Amino acid sequence: MKLSSNLGSAVVEIIIVVLVAGIMVGVPLLITAKGTDDAAKLAVQTAITNFTNKVKTTGVLKQEDYDNLVLELEATGNAYNTEITVQKLDENPAKKSSDSKGSGIYYTMFDTQVKESLPLKLKEGDTITVSAIMKGKNWVESIAGFLAGNAEKDKIVAQESAMITGNPVE
Amino acid sequence: MKLSNLAIIFLIIIFPIIVVLSEYINNRIEIATTELEYNTKLIDATYDAIKAYQINTVNNAFGDVTNSKISDIEDAVNVFFNSLTNSFNYTGYKASIMKQYVPAIGFTLYDGYYIYSPFENKLTGVDIDAKDSDGNPINYDQGYSKPEEITNGLKPYVYYSVRYINTSENWDFVITYTLDNYITIQGNIGLNNYVYDCGYLYSVDTPTGIRKDVNDVYIFDGIEFRESDTEELKEYVGTQEYSYAKINGKKYYLEENENDFFDYDDGNGGKRINKKARFFYIDNSGQKNYSQIAKYDDTKNTEYDRNKEFIKYYLAIKYNKSAYIYYKRAYEFSKAVLGSAVNNYKDKAGKTQSGYNLSNLNHNQCEYYDTGTRTENLKKSGITPLSEYGDSFNIFAGDMHLADSNFNKHRKAIIRYVIETNMSTAISGFSSSVNKNLKERDIGYIQYIMPKISETDWDIIQNNVCAIAFLQGLKIGTKNYNGYSVVANMLTKEYIDENDIYILKNDNTYCKANDSTLDASNIKPKTTGNNYYPGIWKINFERLKYVKEDGTEVYYYPTGAGLLGSYTSIMGSYKVNEIGNDMYSYIHNQNDNTLKKAYYMALGRERWCSYNVNNINYELHGNNRNEFFLDDY
């Protein structure tokens, strides 16, 4: 009897030790990692917003600005894809419209077209949408996903849209 | 001690540290996110203000006149605050509260700027309560402001001016700069020689400047400008096309519903004048206004004053030589500035001048130039000293119309210095005024300081009409927000930018001058039916409103609805060439004289016709300042 009770208390002790070790290591790790992850997301949002605002006010999407954006995103330590969509305002239909207050239409330039056309000059009224999409998951999300059974991949972590307010200084 | 007890102690120590760190990180993230959000809201509100200003001025026949401009700017400011308040509405900020966070809004214009800023009313010595028998205030409108009250309003206009003094040369004059190569000179040049003159600056009698050939032909970049090479401009008002000329910034249209021609000898080959013609302009209400120019009086001869005026307007519309006059006057003014003036040259005050000989005027001779400790003090105050642009260079050396010229460098330095010093003073003055009486302030003490404006934004300010808005003092976490935004007005009537000339093509599209698809074969030619060179100012492609006699509103395009923007450079931009330093250099490098002629004619014509109050001397030309523009007809 004494042997079985000793064995029982040893098992409990082992379980407690494992639990405590897990808490001592795991909890600070997860919390710190979440903070790091939040800081990384902020850095991504800041980079995307600043890039979009610059294009908004200058009217030009330059290769060097795009390259700097990519470098800033990589500096967060995660892998991102950037997607840029431009909607160009065509005011000619407004002139052809019989309605005295006709409006223009937008036609879209998708990511590949945009990146092949750099430097791209935009005009007042065009719109731009810039997204940062994280490739896969970072290890925090991997653990969280594993625990929750979540198989989601490649999500948009930051996005910014703007209407161009200035025409490019030629 | 048991391991489990150790673990518990560890948790007790570590957990609070983790919680605090986590809160700190979240707080910093929230601050940064909020700052980004405020930046975007500020840019959007500033853009709304500029858009309102654009709409008001483009459609306003009197948009260039100072009173009208002030009214348009005040409307734009109202739009700014409405937009900003709406953006911040969810946090409960009211418009009156938001104004306390905006120390200044700057509107930079062609030759100076306005600051819209709260100011402390320091009126004294006036009985503000005095009323007349009807109970109306005699001296003062308390509805606008009260003494010792903080009031929002436009401060006096600040010009981009700088003084030059040189006792050995007897110089004591002021030059006012603008966003292009137009300047105004006022003051003493030489002993007892007061000068008041203005004009566009080019190098003269050089291969790259304006040259004068025999028979009064002026040559610029290989293109000849002759007095006999006139234009007849046409555009639509509603659905009908009229000949027109822009005189002193206003378009005068020619209506010829009946014909009764006579021959008139203007000394230049004789012209046909239609006595039954009428002239109108579109007034502020959007209607045709025929009141300014009297009809031809058939009972009088052509020397009768009203008939002379009639003939001048008719010739100005039918035989427009604005482009020729532009290059002629630019040549004469530049020649006077750089050395000896042409024979019988008169400045804008009507005084005969032999020339100002300012070719050696140096950057370091201006009043604002700094040396020694002054340089350090300016830098500490956050102001860029003029010495940063160079120690010594002649302002008027080389081709002054080019972007990389000494003139342009000096001009940008002056503009930046004037704006930085005055804006900084306005903001710090506001700070000390409003923080004096903290008990009455809803929002407590806030230190307002001028933020550092980026070089990209300075480039925009020095070359465009802009709005600069400051937003300071909003609480974001543990710090105060301090931001600004600069938005350029790309659709301005203030001045004619070199990049704002579009070229018409044979396929009824218009494109930018640096469109790579342009060549001599597809540029619309000047013909009898279209008797003007195919360069058009971009404002003319904007939709306008016209009100018929029956009150019906009609929206129309002055150049006609049939003219469409090209997809190569207007609606899209996939076939534009890089212009390099500036449009002048780009056009110079083209081998196509057809493009050059169209471009330079349009630039000269539009600039000569635009409104500029400095051009006009009231003593010489009276209140009808159009006489100045009609002198050559």
* Per-residue pLDDT reduced to its tens digit, B405-450: 999 999 999 999 999 998 888 888 777 777 766 555 566 677 788 8
Name every chain B residue with its beta carbon within 8 A of the beta carbon of A91: 565, 571
Cα-Cα-Cα-Cα dihedral sign, residues B555, B557, B560, B563: negative
Relative to beta strand B158-159, strand B150-154 is unpaired
Domain ranges of chain B: 3-124+141-159+380-395+401-488, 233-320, 496-609
Whole-number pLDDT of residue A7: 67
Q: Which amino acid is at A58?
A: T
Q: What is the 3-state secondary structure (H, E, C) of B370-436?
A: CCCHHHHHHHHCCCCCHHHHCCCCECCCCCCCCCCCHHHHHHHHHHHHHHHHHHHHHHHHHHHHHCC
Record: contact B43-A56, CB cut-off 8 A = yes
Nearest-by-Cβ selection for B25 from A28, A39, A49: A39
Structure-block tokens of residue B239: 């659905």
- Strand B261-264 and strand B150-154: the pairing is unpaired
Measured CA to CA in angstroms, residue B576 lies from A60, A61, A117, B109, B580 at distances of 13, 15, 12, 28, 12
CB B66 within 8 A of CB B504: no
Query: CA of B226 to nearest chain A CA: how many angstroms apart?
Result: 30
Give the position of tokens 């109050």: B613
Task: Tell me how far apart the alpha carbons of residues A130 and A134 are, in angstroms, rounded to a whole number.
Answer: 13
Rounded to an integer, what distance in angstroms lies between the CA atom of residue B116 and that of residue B428? Answer: 14
Taking the C-alpha atoms of residue B218 and residue B226, their distance in angstroms, rounded to an integer, is 7
Under a CB-based contact definition with an 8 Å cutoff, are residues B308 and B301 in contact?
Answer: no
Over residues B112-130, the mean pLDDT reads 77
Exposure letters B549-588 (e unless 16+ CB within 10 A, then b):
eeeeeeebbbbbbebbbbbbbbbbbebbbebeebbbbbbb
Position B90 confidence tier, pLDDT thresholds 50, 70, 90:
low
Q: Among A57, A120, A124, whose Cβ lies nearest the Cβ of B43? A: A57
Residue B305 vs residue B583, higher pLDDT? B583
How large is the average pLDDT for residues B346-366? Answer: 91
Q: Could you give phi then psi for residue B483, rounded to 5 degrees?
A: -140, 170
Residue B194: pLDDT band (50, 70, 90) is: very high
Per-residue tokens: B518: 């342009």
3-state secondary structure of B239: coil
Distance CA B615, CA B621 (A): 10
Residues of chain A with pLDDT under 50: 151, 170
Mean pLDDT of chain B: 86
Q: Which of residues 51-70 of A touch B (CB under 8 A)?
A: 53-54, 56-58
Residues 437-456 of B with CB under 8 A from A: 456
Q: Nearest 5°: CA angle at A92, between A89 and A98? A: 125
**Any chain B CB within 8 A of the CB of A100?**
yes
Residue B103 has which token pair? 């120390």
Q: What is the pLDDT of residues B586-616, one digit of tens each?
A: 999 998 899 999 999 999 999 988 876 555 6
Tokens of B353: 């001048």
Q: Which of B78-92, B299-313, B537-551, B560-574 has the lowest mean pLDDT?
A: B78-92
Q: Is there a contact between B438 and B444 (Cβ–Cβ < 8 Å)?
A: yes
Kindly give the residue spans of alpha helices, DSSP state H, lying in B435-467: 455-463
What separation in angstroms does the CA of B549 have from each of A98, A101, B287, B561?
Answer: 22, 20, 7, 22
| Contact (Cβ atoms closer than 8 angstroms) between residue B244 and residue B234 | yes
pLDDT of B266 over the 70 cut: yes
Nearest partner of A83 among A153, A131, A124, judged by Cα? A131
Give the chain B residue nearest A20 (alpha carbons): B7
Evaluate if residue B157 carries a pLDDT over 70.
Answer: yes
Q: Return d(Cα B343, Cα B119) in angstroms, integer.
A: 51
Q: Per-residue pLDDT for B82 more than 60? A: yes
Distance (Å, rounded) from C-alpha B626 to C-alpha B404? 35
A45 to chain B: closest CA residue: B33
Residues 491-530, chain B, touching A (beta carbon < 8 A): 491, 499, 512, 514
pLDDT band at B169 (very low <50, low <70, confident <90, very high): confident
A88/B572 Cβ within 8 A: yes
Taking the C-alpha atoms of residue B387 and residue B375, their distance in angstroms, rounded to an integer, is: 8
The predicted structure's pLDDT at residue B618? 56
Q: Which two tokens stand for residue B207?
A: 């291969």
- Per the structure block, which two tokens stand in for B18? 């983790």
pLDDT at B183: 94
- Of A165, A88, A91, which is closest to residue B559 (Cα–Cα)? A91
Tell whether pTM > 0.90. Answer: no
Contact B456 A58 (CB under 8 A): yes
pLDDT band at B356 (very low <50, low <70, confident <90, very high): very high
Interface TM-score (ipTM) > 0.95 = no
Task: Quote the longest CA-to-CA distance of chain B.
Answer: 124
State which amino acid sits at residue B112. G
Angle at B613 between CA B625 and CA B425, to 5 degrees: 160
Q: Which residue has the tokens 């004289």?
A: B593
